Amino acid sequence: MNALIRRALPLAIASGFALSASSAMAIDIGLGAKAGTQGYGLDLSAGITPKLNVRGGFTQFSFSYDGELEQDTSAGGASINSAATYSTTFDFNTVALLVDYHPFASGFRLTTGAMLNNSKLHGAAIAGDQTIEIGNYTSTQGADLRADVTITFPKTAPYLGIGYDSSRYSKSGFSFTYDLGVMFQGEPTAKVELSGADASQVPQEDLDREVASVNETLSDFTIYPVMNLGLSYTF
């Protein structure tokens, strides 16, 4: 009996390794490109079971705009054109770790997970020939004053959504994907910084009042809609 066990044990171990390798080889690996409300990016997915899929990816997008806010004023019957210069920069950057569940025999999926939100918005205004209002303070025309506003978000944001991935039940290596959901980003936080020779003329309480006002406005933007369309290939 012991001799039989000694002969059977290596065979059982080898069979176990073979089954493990076969299971590992059965995992479908997919690589996809996508674009949507979070920008553009890539996804790497792995089909663990016929109904369960894990996915990691990132998206990014940057946009900047510079311009002038013009105003016509009158002085001694003459029309004077004055302007304040401003710039706005949007930097969207997210990293996602998601789990997809396919409840039916189709590509329809339910998705949950978390996103690392490194997005940031920045705006700057230079008084120029106009005035800048900060809290209850109003600068004089021609003041050497610049206001920079930076808006950041909580780093971790839960995600919940639905979507479709035709590769789950398609014989073709290429597939169409889409996601529709919500990123619960939490309340953004604003930071206002002043610079220039006349920055010291702004009372601290007015600067604090301005920051509080901006943050109160931002408190309504706790969720971000996510819609992505993509194309992937399963190996």
Local confidence band at 32 (pLDDT 50, 70, 90 cut-offs): very high
Which region among 1-10, 43-52, 142-151, 189-198 has the lowest average model confidence (pLDDT)?
Answer: 1-10
More confident residue, 118 or 235: 118
Residue 7 has pLDDT above 70, yes or no: no
pLDDT in tens, 53-83: 999 999 999 999 887 655 444 334 333 334 4
Residue 231 has pLDDT above 80, yes or no: yes
pLDDT in tens, 110-162: 999 999 999 999 988 888 777 778 888 888 877 888 889 999 999 999 999 99
Residue 47 has pLDDT above 80, yes or no: yes
For the chain, domains (ranges, CATH) are 28-234 (2.40.160)
Would the pTM count as exceeding 0.95?
no
Pairing of strands 156-165, 52-75: unpaired
pLDDT value of position 167: 82
Mean pLDDT, the chain, rounded, equals 83
pLDDT value of position 211: 92
Give residue 82's region: left, alpha or beta (phi > 0; psi -120 to 50): beta
Residue 12 has pLDDT above 50, yes or no: no
